[in-house]
């Protein structure tokens, strides 16, 4: 049953984020703001070597230092392998990490932990720990990792939870293969074949709040942890298993999170806080330095992707073959699932092929580990696919926009890939009930002036403007795996407490869930008192990942609100001695013929006067499909032909994310994603030295976009309605990040004739290409 969008009063209407003002005013709301005043401060001794075995470690001097409360090495912590990934159960990531280990596998890996009265003492103590390393030969080039004589995980006790292609002795964290039809046969039949290989870098999340957690024991001697996390419930489960504690002994509270983007799906320090507080009985805290965020948390998976595409002269694409190699660094967090998304949320864009193949390996190296990051494989795949589509269009002598229109996904169509590929497992078949991609392509072209401008416009002898495009898709949660839930409780006076496990990490989920509930209960957002998320107080939610919050948690909230509405009508009917079907509710007053009662009175009666009881509802939701949002993106770049420098003058997007629950927040998600994607496409270079030291480990060496680089973003939304979504909504958290690498690559090529096959697309690479063209 489709809701008439025109009748919506809160959803799809401009609504200010409910916490924006308080945050601007500086309220204490983030993890470290809430640490106990007298917390022990935890610091980590980190490996100076890319790969080494700890021959001996002597902490006696550190322990003697005045003010040191606890020093831990691998000898002092449970030797239980786990995955930091912060996923559901069983995890599709290998259990290949120990809290502390006798091997260190990248520069920055944890060697020992110190907890002391303050930061200075803790840092002083780190210097007193004597470690003797046997330095091993590191693997620093992921293309040589497979079956390398250096084995990064030679240890016992590591495992996969179900078959993911885990072969540690070959440095393989995961592997995957799939094929629909016969790709080689279809390629052989094709009039034109293109074969291109692209490289993408280990982008850093660079959220402004660094990883932070703190712990204390409550009056019941339970462990209470505040964590800047996207996944409080997974944290609780994984910590209980790894430390051998009952789940009931642990409470995780997620306060305001200062940006996550996938980086805070995983464990970063929580285990050390827990161990410190359990062993000393004292509160503790660990706040990562910026350098630790860059060099010792995790990054996007760098990849090499080879795309082969075959097409007929008329532009019909026959077959796509995508071979990938992914570098998961020292540990295999999200290794398989990110890898599969390269195929599963990219290749279905061209669903009319006769054959499609995807596969390859995720290898270990001695780099900073890789993990979840907004886009989650789709951005890497999109860069390779959408740049190759442009190359194919040129070979065919076609406008790449026309080639895309001809071959891309349309409403009511499907792709066999949906059924084959899921999140580390089999997928779920689905039909595109909402897909306005053709409109997005058409409208975006109008906004950028494609017909008039493509491929290039000369500005002067040294300046030229180039125009490029790409299309993208993502998903909305993981079907049959991601679950969200919502409780609604009626207060006296008629306000509602809404508690959700959904984790607001800045994307605005508290606001949009409040909007959903307010819309259904015909009240205003300020009458909804929302709280997220606390494993003691809020119902379960898988967490903020996989573009699941609006769709999964939003659906749970909608379901709960619908139930609450039904329940209130039933209660009011009883109160009025009427049948429920005769009672109308307008959000404030229940009316039946000549009788009425206000919600205000009814709610007070239930708590103080008559038929005393608490009215509350809890509902859960999990997806049966994962409806993809779609996007068409275009850019105008201006290139200085003498220096290779360029500016992105305008970035146009038209997005189909179904109903925008909160149009301003949706735009914020799209534009925030675009700017992060532009960072990856243009500026964010990851550099190591020959020994495996990360050089780009601060904001002076790793350049995220600033106000001076972003000129104009033009963002529109297609009129679309997803029948399975809350009020017609699909996800919008990740789709924004997917297109910039391909769009900028295509635009730069159209401006200059230089095709950059490895990210970021720097002026230096462009100038080098221009010089080669002149030869």
List the interface residues with other proteins, window 261-300 (CB under 8 A). Answer: 261, 289-290
Nearer residue to other proteins within complex by CB, 354 or 685: 685
Strands of 589-592's sheet in order across: 584-585, 589-592, 595-598
Give whichever of 80 and 664 is closer to other proteins, judged by the CB atom.
664
Q: How many residues bind other proteins (CB under 8 A)?
A: 72
Provide the β-strand partners of residue 324.
Answer: 305, 360
- Say how far apart CA 82 and CA 78 lie, in whole Å: 11
d(CA 300, CA 170): 22
Nearest CA-CA partner of 194 in 400, 346, 341: 400
Quick count: other Cβ atoms within 10 Å of Cβ 555?
Answer: 26
Which tokens is 367 given?
């780099």
Of 25-33, 91-99, 320-328, 427-435, the segment contacting other proteins by CB under 8 A is 25-33
Nearest alpha carbon to residue 500 among 470, 530, 456: 530
The answer to whether 671 and 733 are in contact (CB under 8 A) is no
* 292, 211 Cβ separation under 8 angstroms: yes
Q: Toward other proteins, which CB reaches closer, 26 or 246? A: 26
Q: What gap in Å lies between CA 412 and CA 434, rounded to an integer?
A: 7
Stretch that binds other proteins, among 5-13, 14-22, 345-353, 391-399 (CB under 8 A): 14-22
Least gap, CB of 668 to other proteins (angstroms): 4
Give the nearer residue to other proteins in terms of CB position, either 248 or 643: 643
Among 153, 234, 236, 256, binds other proteins (CB under 8 A): 256
Is there a cis peptide before residue 749, judged by omega within 30 degrees of 0?
no
| Least Å from the CB of residue 363 to other proteins | 25
Please report how close the Cβ of residue 526 comes to other proteins at its closest, in angstroms: 13
42 touching other proteins, by CB under 8 A: no
Residue carrying structure tokens 């996938």 = 262
For β-strands 496-500 and 528-531, DSSP reports them as: parallel
Shortest CB 684 distance to other proteins, Å: 9
Residue 775 engages other proteins in binding (rule: CB under 8 A) = no
Closer to other proteins at the Cβ: 201 or 696? 696
- Please state the closest distance from residue 421 (CB atom) to other proteins, in A: 30
| Pairing of the two strands 317-329 and 355-364 | parallel
The tokens for 467 are: 């125009």
- The structure tokens listed for 609 are 């006067």
Single out the residue of 1, 6, 26, 219 in contact with other proteins (rule: CB under 8 A): 26
Cβ-based nearer residue to other proteins, 6 or 708: 708
Interface stretch with other proteins, choices 22-30, 58-66, 611-619, 622-630 (CB under 8 A): 22-30
By CB under 8 A, what part of segment 632-671 binds other proteins?
642-643, 645, 663-665, 667-668, 670-671
Site string (190-209) toward other proteins, x via CB under 8 A: ---------------xxxxx
Residues 675, 737, 744, 754: which binds other proteins (CB under 8 A)? Answer: 675
1, 24, 219, 612: which one binds other proteins (CB under 8 A): 24
Q: 283, 270, 207: which is closest to 239 by C-alpha?
A: 270
> Between the CA of residue 630 and those of 189, 348, 512, 663, what are the distances in Å?
30, 11, 20, 16
Given candidates 2, 9, 21, 75, which one binds other proteins under the rule CB under 8 A?
21
By CB under 8 A, residue 17 contacts other proteins: yes
- Which string of b and e fits 312-345 if b means at least 16 CB within 10 Å? eeebbbbbbbbbbbbbbbbbbbbbbbbbbbbbbb
Smallest distance, other proteins to C-beta of residue 715, A: 8
Q: Which is nearer to other proteins, 38 or 614 (CB)?
A: 38
Nearer to other proteins, 159 or 771 (CB): 771
Could you tell me which of 349, 342, 345 has the C-alpha nearest to residue 317?
349
Give the CA distances from residue 549 to residues 542, 557, 621, in Å, rounded to whole numbers and listed in that order.
9, 10, 11
Taking CA atoms, 360 is separated from 152, 324, 439, in Å, by 19, 5, 34
Q: Do 694 and 688 touch, CB atoms closer than 8 A?
A: yes
Q: Smaller CB distance to other proteins: residue 123 or 413?
A: 123
Tokens, residue 657:
């994310």
For residue 411, the minimal CB distance to other proteins (Å) is 28
Q: Applying CB under 8 A, which of residues 492, 534, 709, 716 lies at the interface with other proteins?
A: 709
- Residue 474: CB partners within 8 Å, gap ≥ 6? 345, 375, 378, 547, 628, 629, 731, 734, 735, 738
Residues of span 464-493 touching other proteins by CB under 8 A? none
CB-nearer residue toward other proteins: 408 or 509: 509
Q: Is 78 in the site for other proteins (CB under 8 A)?
A: no
Q: Which is nearer to other proteins, 41 or 57 (CB)?
A: 41
**Nearer of residues 573 and 695 to other proteins, judged by Cβ:** 695
Using CB under 8 A, pick the residue from 2, 20, 162, 429 that binds other proteins: 20
Residue from 76, 713, 753, 758 touching other proteins (CB under 8 A): that is 713
Interaction between residue 16 and other proteins (CB under 8 A): yes
Residue with smaller CB distance to other proteins, 38 or 221:
38
Work out how close the CB of 41 gets to other proteins at its nearest, in angstroms, rounded to a whole number. Answer: 11
Q: How far apart are CA 738 and CA 719, in angstroms?
A: 21
* Residue placing its CB nearer to other proteins in the complex, 37 or 577: 37
Mapped onto helix, strand or coil, the DSSP state of residue 648 is: strand
CA distance 343 to 326: 13
**E strand or H helix at 119:** helix 119-128
Per the document, the length of the chain is: 775
Q: Which two tokens stand for residue 550?
A: 């609006």
Rounded Cα distance between 91 and 266, Å, is: 12
Please enumerate in sequence order all residues whose Cβ is within 8 A of that of 509, keeping only pairs 6 or more positions apart, or say none.
500, 502, 503, 532, 544, 549, 550, 553
Contact with other proteins (CB under 8 A) among 29, 133, 146, 585: 29
Name the 3-class secondary structure at 42. Answer: strand
The interface mask with other proteins, positions 678-707, x = CB under 8 A, is -----x-x-x-------xx-xxxx-xxxxx
Residues between 499 and 558 that touch other proteins (CB under 8 A): 505-508
Nearer to other proteins (CB atom), residue 17 or residue 626: 17
Pairing of the two strands 713-717 and 646-656: parallel
Whose Cβ is closer to other proteins: residue 318's or residue 509's? Answer: 509
């Amino acid at each position: 049953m489709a809701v008439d969008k025109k009748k919506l009063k809160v959803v799809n209407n401009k609504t200010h984020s409910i916490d924006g003002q308080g945050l601007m005013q500086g309220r204490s709301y983030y993890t470290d703001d809430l640490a106990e005043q007298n917390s022990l401060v935890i610091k980590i001794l980190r490996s100076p070597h890319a790969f080494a075995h700890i021959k001996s470690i002597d902490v006696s001097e550190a322990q003697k230092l005045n003010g040191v409360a606890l020093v831990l090495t691998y000898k002092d912590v449970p030797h239980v392998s786990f995955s930091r990934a912060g996923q559901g159960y069983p995890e599709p990531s290998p259990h290949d990490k120990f809290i502390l280990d006798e091997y260190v596998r990248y520069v920055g890996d944890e060697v020992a932990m110190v907890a002391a009265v303050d930061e200075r003492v803790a840092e002083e103590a780190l210097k007193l720990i004597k470690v003797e390393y046997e330095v091993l030969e590191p693997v620093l080039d992921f293309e040589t990792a497979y079956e390398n004589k250096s084995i990064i995980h030679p240890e016992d006790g590591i495992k996969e939870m179900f078959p993911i292609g885990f072969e540690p002795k070959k440095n393989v964290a995961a592997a995957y293969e799939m094929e629909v039809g016969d790709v080689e046969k279809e390629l052989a039949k094709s009039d034109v074949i293109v074969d291109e290989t692209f490289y993408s870098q280990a982008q850093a999340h660079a959220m402004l709040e660094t990883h932070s957690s703190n712990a204390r024991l409550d009056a019941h001697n339970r462990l209470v942890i505040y964590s800047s996390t996207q996944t409080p419930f997974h944290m609780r489960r994984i910590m209980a298993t790894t430390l051998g504690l009952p789940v009931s002994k642990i409470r995780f509270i997620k306060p305001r999170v200062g940006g996550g983007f996938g980086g805070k799906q995983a464990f970063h320090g929580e285990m050390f806080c827990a161990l410190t507080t359990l062993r000393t009985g004292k509160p503790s805290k660990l706040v990562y330095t910026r350098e630790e965020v860059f060099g010792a948390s995790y990054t996007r998976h760098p990849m090499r992707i080879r795309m082969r595409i075959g097409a007929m002269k008329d532009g019909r694409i026959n077959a796509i073959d995508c071979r990938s190699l992914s570098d998961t660094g020292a540990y295999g967090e999200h290794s398989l699932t990110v890898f599969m998304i390269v195929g599963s949320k990219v290749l279905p864009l061209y669903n009319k092929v006769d054959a499609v193949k995807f596969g390859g390996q995720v290898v270990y190296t001695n780099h900073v580990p890789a993990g979840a990051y907004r886009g989650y494989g789709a951005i890497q795949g999109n860069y390779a696919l959408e740049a190759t589509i442009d190359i194919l269009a040129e070979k065919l002598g076609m406008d790449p926009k026309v080639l895309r229109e001809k071959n891309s996904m349309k409403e009511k169509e499907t792709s066999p890939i949906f059924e084959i590929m899921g999140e580390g497992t089999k997928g779920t078949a689905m039909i595109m009930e909402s897909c306005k991609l053709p409109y997005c392509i058409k409208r975006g072209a109008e906004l950028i002036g494609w017909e008039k401008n493509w491929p290039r416009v000369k500005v002067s002898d040294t300046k030229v403007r180039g125009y490029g495009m790409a299309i993208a898709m993502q998903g909305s949660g993981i079907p049959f795996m991601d679950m969200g839930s919502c409780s609604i409780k009626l207060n006296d006076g008629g306000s509602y407490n809404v508690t959700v496990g959904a984790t607001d990490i800045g994307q605005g989920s508290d606001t949009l869930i409040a909007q959903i509930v307010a819309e259904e209960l015909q009240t205003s957002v300020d009458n909804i008192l929302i709280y997220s998320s606390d494993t003691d107080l809020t119902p379960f939610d898988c967490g903020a990942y996989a573009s699941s919050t609006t769709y999964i948690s939003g659906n749970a909230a909608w379901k709960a609100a619908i139930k609450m509405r039904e329940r209130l009508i039933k209660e009011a009917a009883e109160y009025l001695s009427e049948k429920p079907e005769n009672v109308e509710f307008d959000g404030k007053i229940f009316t039946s013929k000549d009788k009425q009662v206000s919600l205000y009175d009814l709610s007070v009666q239930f708590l103080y006067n008559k038929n005393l009881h608490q009215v509350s509802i809890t509902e859960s939701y999990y997806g049966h499909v994962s409806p993809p949002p779609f996007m068409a993106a275009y850019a105008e770049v201006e290139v200085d032909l003498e220096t290779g420098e360029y500016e992105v003058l305008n970035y146009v997007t038209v997005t189909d994310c179904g109903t925008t629950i909160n149009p301003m927040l949706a735009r914020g998600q799209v534009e925030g994603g675009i700017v992060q994607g532009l960072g990856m496409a243009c500026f964010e270079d990851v550099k190591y030295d020959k020994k495996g030291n990360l050089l780009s480990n601060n904001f002076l060496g790793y350049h995220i976009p600033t106000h001076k680089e972003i000129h104009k973003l033009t963002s529109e939304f297609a009129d679309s309605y997803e029948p399975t979504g809350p009020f017609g909504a699909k996800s919008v958290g990740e789709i924004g990040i997917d297109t910039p690498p391909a769009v900028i690559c295509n635009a730069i090529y159209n401006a200059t004739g230089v095709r950059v096959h490895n990210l970021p697309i720097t002026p230096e690479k462009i100038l080098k290409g221009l010089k080669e063209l002149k030869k």
